[in-house]
């Protein structure tokens, strides 16, 4: 008697698109296979008054030999504090990081998808995107969220990266901001801020920024700028010594790549800033 196996062929349950190399863009693949998973393709629903958590202030500073990005930890929902210890800055690959302000849930989802996009490209192409390529990819993803942004659920990312192709390594750190329509803007002043407290943070950085500063000085200036933002913007959280909640900081340089500042170091810097401002409360 002839016997035949009823076991399915390996991978037979998956569509053919999942088994081929296809495009090097993960977002294009997702758009074709499961568009409902893209943040910007979901229905925004009818306009309403639902308050969703929002992330607030992010700052970026270019220093000698690198760049950093830092964010406060507070998320607000209307007039309430929704979360006190939210991380708003993320390492996205070896030499880049993104900070997000705006609608918290969509922002975190967008950054995670963006990190997968960079990994997907590198695995298929065998090389990482150039820094300009990385920012163009992020601009495309922000633009795809335009319909949701117009419904009041905007995401405002800020990109920082170390350009490994730069002719002068001391000036390889770059900062790029975006608008809700996906416009991409290189911030050549050496510092920038986004979010509800950005006006106060940028004003602080304008007075203290030094392009020749080392990484330790730049970290101190970033924490000071966030402190100043929290002093005048209720949606920005300052260092919370009692709860041991301090700003998140990521530094990027040619030697170490993108590295999140250890909690102990962030606590040390933030505590020093709080103590200094206590001695001079008027700034």
| Domain ranges for the chain | 53-279
Average pLDDT of the chain, as a whole number = 87
pLDDT tens sequence across 157-206: 999 999 999 999 888 999 999 999 999 999 999 999 999 999 999 999 99
Question: Torsion angle of alpha carbons 175, 113, 102, 145, nearest 10°?
Answer: 100
Query: N- to C-terminal Cα distance for the chain?
Result: 91
Q: What DSSP element (H or E) covers 270?
A: helix 263-279
Q: Is the pTM of this model over 0.85?
A: no
Residue 248 CA neighbour count, 13 Å, CB half: 22
Q: Would you name the residues annotated as active-site residues?
A: 56
Rounded CA-CA distance 264/272 in Å is 12
The number of residues in the chain equals 283
Q: Could you say which DSSP state residue 234 is in?
A: T
Rounded CA-CA distance 83/19 in Å is 41
pLDDT score for 148: 87
Instruction: For the chain, state the CA radius of gyration.
Output: 21
221-222-227 Cα angle (round to 5)? 95
Rounded CA-CA distance 193/225 in Å is 9
pLDDT score for 9: 53
Domain 53-279, CATH class in plain words:
alpha beta
Judging by beta carbons within 10 Å of its beta carbon (0-12, 13-18, 19+), is residue 38 exposed, middle or buried?
Answer: middle
Rounded to whole angstroms, what are the CA distances from 85 to 52, 53, 58, 146, 166?
16, 13, 14, 28, 36
- Which residues of the chain are under the pLDDT cut of 70? 1-52, 55, 281-283
Rounded to whole angstroms, what are the CA distances from 121 to 118, 164, 211, 246?
5, 17, 33, 34
Q: Could you say which DSSP state residue 253 is in?
A: E
Instruction: Name, in order, each residue with C-beta under 8 angstroms of 161's C-beta and a sequence gap of 6 or more.
Output: 67, 95, 96, 97, 131, 134, 135, 173, 174, 176, 252
Rounded CA-CA distance 122/108 in Å is 22
DSSP string, 122-187: HHHHSSPPPHHHHHHHHHHHHHHTHHHHHTT--EEEEEEEE-TT-S-GGG-EEEEEE-TT--EEE-
Judging by beta carbons within 10 Å of its beta carbon (0-12, 13-18, 19+), is residue 47 exposed, middle or buried?
Answer: exposed
pLDDT score for 153: 87
Rounded CA-CA distance 218/24 in Å is 36
């Amino acid at each position: 008697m002839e016997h035949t196996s009823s076991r399915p062929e390996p991978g037979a349950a998956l569509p053919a698109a999942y088994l081929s190399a296809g495009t090097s863009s993960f977002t294009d693949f997702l758009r074709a296979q499961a568009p409902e998973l893209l943040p910007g393709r979901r229905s925004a629903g009818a306009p309403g008054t639902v308050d969703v958590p929002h992330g607030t202030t992010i700052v970026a500073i270019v220093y000698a030999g690198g760049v950093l990005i830092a964010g406060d930890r507070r998320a607000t929902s209307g007039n309430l504090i929704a979360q006190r210890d939210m991380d708003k800055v993320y390492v996205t690959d070896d030499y880049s990081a993104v900070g997000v302000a705006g609608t918290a849930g969509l922002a975190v989802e967008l950054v995670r998808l963006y990190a997968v996009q960079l990994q997907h490209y590198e695995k298929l192409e065998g090389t990482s995107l150039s820094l300009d390529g990385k920012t163009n990819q992020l601009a495309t993803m922000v633009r795809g969220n335009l319909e949701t942004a117009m419904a009041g659920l905007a995401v405002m990312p800020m990109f920082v990266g170390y350009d490994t192709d730069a002719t002068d390594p001391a000036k390889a750190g770059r900062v790029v901001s975006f608008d809700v329509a996906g416009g991409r803007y290189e911030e050549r002043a050496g510092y920038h801020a986004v979010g509800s407290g950005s006006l106060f943070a940028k004003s602080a950085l304008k007075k203290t920024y030094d392009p020749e500063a080392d990484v330790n000085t730049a970290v101190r200036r970033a924490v000071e700028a966030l402190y100043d933002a929290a002093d005048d913007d209720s949606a920005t959280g300052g260092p919370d010594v009692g709860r041991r909640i301090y700003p998140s900081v990521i530094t990027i340089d040619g030697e170490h790549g993108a590295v999140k500042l250890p909690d102990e170091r962030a606590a040390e810097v933030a505590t020093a800033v709080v103590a200094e401002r206590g001695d001079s409360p008027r700034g």
